Structure 1
Amino acid sequence: MKTIITIIFIIFLSFTAQAQNNTDNVKVETIEMTIVTETTYELNLETETEVARLYKFKNSRIKRDLNFITKANKAKMA
């Protein structure tokens, strides 16, 4: 009984999906572009200098994160 109801339900859904009107035709405007045969290269002589940070302090956040020591690595007293 359950299988018959599910088959009827699937058939009903397929008929309702096919009964929808999808008559909207979307027209796309095309753009004509020409082929470029000449290329020019520009040299950028201005260079940007970036600053790298050095941390003096032992407990700085980045050094602490890079050390990554877990509790399992510590020695235990027997």
Structure 2
Amino acid sequence: MAENLLTLAGAMSTARLEKSWSQINSGYIAGISCTGANLEEDVFLLTANSHYETIDDWRSLSAADDTELLGRKLNRVTDCMHT
């Protein structure tokens, strides 16, 4: 099997790499070259999805909301919560 390199440009936090996950997981894509920021968010989402909670309107969270998330041991990274 030929090794393929996936090249991407732009912000990867909105690229939603899960659309390519089956090709990555099967070994068809051997590497990713990315000029965009926040690639780690999609990688975490792909590999640890059960530990994520997505908040659609994260920009509207109050300080009290952030305190509640902290109490649940969730680390806020824009619209993704890491456990």
Normalising by structure 2, report the TM-score: 0.18
Would you tell me which structure has more helix in proportion to its own residues?
A: 2
Per chain length, whose mean CA-contact separation is higher, i.e. which structure has more relative contact order (CA < 8 Å, sep 6+)?
2
Normalising by structure 1, report the TM-score: 0.19
Mark the structure with the bigger radius of gyration.
1
